[in-house]
């Protein structure tokens, strides 16, 4: 079974708008990561946030982590058509790089 | 480009057959993990190999097995294929004991008829 659940399942926005997707997970974690997947291809790492961090930025990406609520959010600012992809959160409960992925959010950015 | 290569990219098998998928990890990475991704779902952890031994396994039956070689490349073997085994199989390499990102290959898409 999936460790995490992303919300919403699908999101459609206009180019230039911000996109926010959320992830909830079930057990305690050491770190949480977000990955991107273009249609049917391999996953690409976007950003990692450790359990003792609350917020992290990387370019147009902003990730927050609330371990008390077992939730994380990914914000993509000033979205571009090239951001169209599926986005997954992944949690590592055991520091063994054995990640459990959520169900994903499918983002469509309309030019 | 992550430096992780998988083969074959696509293959079709029939129920009951066996399949072997291959993965070459990124240079310097000593750990390989395999994931199964069914259509419309997130990747599910199958198992991880470190120093040629299985080092963690997800909820998959024993007919899913693997190998890691001294050069850290890896194979995933699936016996007695079932229709539900149809999926994208992803290999990811990483450095053991260094919590961090996984580097994924482009996957092998298996169709079982």
Asked whether the beta carbons of A46 and A58 are under 8 A apart, the reply is: yes
Mean pLDDT of A8-27: 95
pLDDT tens string B64-110: 999 999 988 999 999 999 999 999 999 999 886 666 788 999 999 99
User: For residue B19, which phi and psi values (nearest 5 degrees)?
Assistant: -140, 145
What does the pLDDT read at residue B99? 66
The whole-angstrom separation of Cα A47 and Cα B78 is 32
Res. A1: pLDDT tops 60: no
Count of A–B CB contacts within 8 Å? Answer: 76
DSSP reduced 3-state for A82: helix
Average pLDDT, chain B: 92
Q: ∠A41-A44-A46 over CA atoms, to 5°? A: 150
Q: Over pLDDT 70: what percentage of chain B?
A: 96
Mean pLDDT of B38-54: 92
Strand-strand pairing, A61-66 and A43-50? unpaired
Strand-strand pairing, A71-76 and A19-25? antiparallel
Q: Are A101 and B35 in contact (CB < 8 Å)? A: yes
Q: Are A42 and B96 in contact (CB < 8 Å)? A: no
pLDDT tens string A37-56: 998 788 999 999 999 999 99
Q: Give the distance from residue A12's alpha carbon to the nearest chain B alpha carbon, in angstroms.
A: 17
The whole-angstrom separation of Cα B34 and Cα B102 is 11
DSSP reduced 3-state for A83: helix
The model's confidence at residue A28, banded by pLDDT at 50, 70 and 90, is confident
Asked whether the beta carbons of B19 and B81 are under 8 A apart, the reply is: yes
Res. B46: pLDDT tops 60: yes
Query: Dihedral through CA A43, CA A20, CA A49, CA B3, nearest 10?
Result: 20
Asked whether the beta carbons of B40 and A88 are under 8 A apart, the reply is: no
Res. B20: pLDDT tops 60: yes
DSSP reduced 3-state for B23: strand
Q: Over pLDDT 70: what percentage of chain A?
A: 95
Res. A105: pLDDT tops 70: yes
Q: Are A44 and B4 in contact (CB < 8 Å)? A: no
Please list every residue in chain A whose beta carbon sits closer than 8 Å to the beta carbon of residue B31. 97
Q: Is the dihedral of CA A82, B104, A92, A6 positive or negative?
A: positive
| Range name among A75-89, B10-24, B46-60 with the lowest pLDDT average | B46-60
Q: Are A104 and B45 in contact (CB < 8 Å)? A: no
Q: What is the DSSP letter of A74?
A: E
Does residue A8 have a cis bond before it (omega within 30 degrees)? yes
């Amino acid at each position: 079974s999936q460790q995490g659940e992303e919300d919403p399942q699908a999101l459609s926005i206009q180019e230039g708008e911000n996109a926010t997707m959320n992830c909830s997970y079930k057990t305690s974690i050491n770190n949480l990561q977000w990955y991107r997947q273009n249609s049917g291809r391999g996953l690409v790492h976007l950003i990692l946030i450790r359990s003792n961090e609350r917020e992290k930025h990387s370019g147009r990406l902003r990730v927050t982590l609330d371990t008390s609520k077992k939730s994380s959010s990914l914000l993509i600012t000033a979205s571009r058509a090239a951001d169209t992809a599926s986005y997954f959160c992944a949690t590592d409960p055991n520091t063994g790089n054995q990640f459990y992925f959520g169900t994903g959010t499918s983002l469509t950015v309309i030019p | 480009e992550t430096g992780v290569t998988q083969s074959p990219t696509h293959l079709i098998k029939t129920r009951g057959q066996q399949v072997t998928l291959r993965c070459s990890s990124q240079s310097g990475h000593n750990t390989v993990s395999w994931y199964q991704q069914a259509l419309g779902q997130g990747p599910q952890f199958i198992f991880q190999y470190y120093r040629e031994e299985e080092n963690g396994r997800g909820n998959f039956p024993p007919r899913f097995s693997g190998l890691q070689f001294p050069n850290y490349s890896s194979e995933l073997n699936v016996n007695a294929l079932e229709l539900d085994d149809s999926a994208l199989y992803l290999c990811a390499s990483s450095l053991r004991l260094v919590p961090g990102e996984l580097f994924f290959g482009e996957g092998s898409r298996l169709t079982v008829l």
